[in-house]
């Protein structure tokens, strides 16, 4: 499959798929379909998933990939600042939409503003008596490289709201500075990292922004997979002025 050229949206240039290509050799259940990225007439963005079987060549071998997913990555890398999208999460079974930042020339570090997971019923509803104030399966995570190697603070769901994220637009915000990583959903703080041991591993890195509508490991990989749409009203980046 031939890729498409970069495009402008919300004041920034974006590429289709990842920097290294349109399919991950360790996750061939899906590929990054340039035609599943749609800039609408009103300047909003839609990232789709759809059953669109394709063949790829990986290390000289033909590989079948059944589901095309929309993924974009910023062609420019960003330093400290505030990153914000206003978005309506997709409906559909076993989806995995995400808004995240990864370092331009290394991994980790990575900041997952959210990774959201629908269930077999197609919604994000989540209830665990251990976390009664986390109604939705929308998780944050912070990946870093410490003195003992790769580390992460762990995925957590901490979002309590009556707004259904697949029916309502919600503002998802990351504030990344030398002193903190703070993640908010509709101005409610859901994650705050102030550990200097973690924050210093981000120092000197610039980060690419990635938005995607993926499928998880329980997804239907045949024509029973119904098209889904991750609708993003806007993206905004404000540089840190501290």
Average pLDDT over residues 131-153: 75
What pLDDT is attached to residue 50?
96
Kindly report which listed range (69-73, 101-105, 131-135) carries the lowest average pLDDT score: 131-135
Average pLDDT over residues 106-129: 88
What pLDDT is attached to residue 227?
96
Maximum average pLDDT range among 18-22, 153-157, 182-186 = 182-186
Task: Out of 2.60.120.200, 2.30.30.90, 3.30.559.10, 1.10.260.40, select the CATH number for domain 29-239.
Answer: 2.60.120.200
Task: Indicate the average pLDDT of the chain.
Answer: 91
Rounded Cα–Cα distance for residues 102 and 19 (Å): 11
What pLDDT is attached to residue 191?
92
pLDDT for residue 155 is more than 70:
no
pLDDT for residue 154 is more than 70:
no
Is omega for the bond preceding 109 within 30 degrees of 0, making it cis?
yes
| pLDDT tens column, 41-89 | 999 999 999 999 999 999 899 999 999 999 999 999 999 999 999 999 9
- The larger pLDDT score, comparing residue 131 to residue 176, is at 176
What pLDDT is attached to residue 158?
65
Query: Which structure tokens are listed for 227?
Result: 């098209």
What pLDDT is attached to residue 201?
93
Question: CA separation (Å) from 39 to 29, 45, 84, 104, 232?
Answer: 25, 5, 18, 25, 10
Average pLDDT over residues 145-172: 76
Q: Cβ–Cβ contacts within 10 Å for residue 82, how many?
A: 16
- The larger pLDDT score, comparing residue 2 to residue 22, is at 22
Q: Burial letters for 27-46: b for 16+ Cβ neighbours within 10 Å, e otherwise?
A: eebbbbbbebbeeeeeebbb
Q: Which of 40, 49, 14 is nearest to 210 (CA)?
A: 14
* Residue 172, CA atoms < 13 Å, CB-side half-sphere: 27
Kindly report which listed range (38-52, 126-140, 168-182, 204-218) carries the lowest average pLDDT score: 126-140
Query: How does residue 123 score in pLDDT terms, banded at 50, 70 and 90?
Result: confident
Kindly report which listed range (19-33, 34-48, 69-83, 136-150) carries the lowest average pLDDT score: 136-150
For the chain, the residue count is 242
| pLDDT tens column, 211-237 | 999 999 888 889 999 999 999 999 999
Torsion of CA 17, 209, 109, 183, to 10 degrees: -140
For the chain, which residues make up each domain, given as ranges? 29-239
């Amino acid at each position: 499959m031939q890729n498409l050229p970069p495009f402008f949206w919300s004041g920034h240039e974006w590429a289709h798929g990842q920097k290294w290509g349109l399919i991950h050799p360790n996750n061939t259940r899906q590929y990054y379909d340039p035609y599943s990225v749609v800039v609408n007439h009103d300047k909003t963005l839609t990232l789709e998933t759809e059953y669109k079987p394709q063949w790829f060549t990986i290390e000289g071998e033909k590989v079948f990939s059944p589901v095309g997913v929309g993924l974009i990555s910023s062609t420019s890398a960003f330093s400290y600042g505030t990153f914000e999208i206003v978005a309506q999460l997709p409906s559909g079974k076993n989806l995995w939409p995400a808004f995240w930042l990864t370092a331009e020339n290394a991994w980790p570090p990575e900041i997952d503003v959210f990774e959201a997971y629908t269930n077999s019923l197609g919604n994000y509803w989540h209830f665990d008596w251990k976390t009664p104030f986390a109604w939705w399966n929308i998780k944050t995570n912070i990946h870093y490289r410490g003195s003992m190697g790769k580390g992460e603070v762990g995925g957590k769901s901490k979002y309590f709201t009556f707004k259904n994220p697949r029916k309502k637009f919600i503002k998802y915000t990351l504030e990344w500075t030398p002193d903190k990583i703070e993640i908010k959903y509709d101005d409610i703080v859901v994650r705050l990292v102030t550990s200097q041991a973690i924050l210093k591993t981000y120092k000197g890195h610039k980060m690419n922004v990635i938005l995607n509508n993926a499928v998880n490991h329980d997804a239907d990989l045949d024509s029973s997979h119904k098209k889904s749409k991750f609708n993003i009203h806007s993206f905004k980046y404000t540089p840190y002025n501290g």
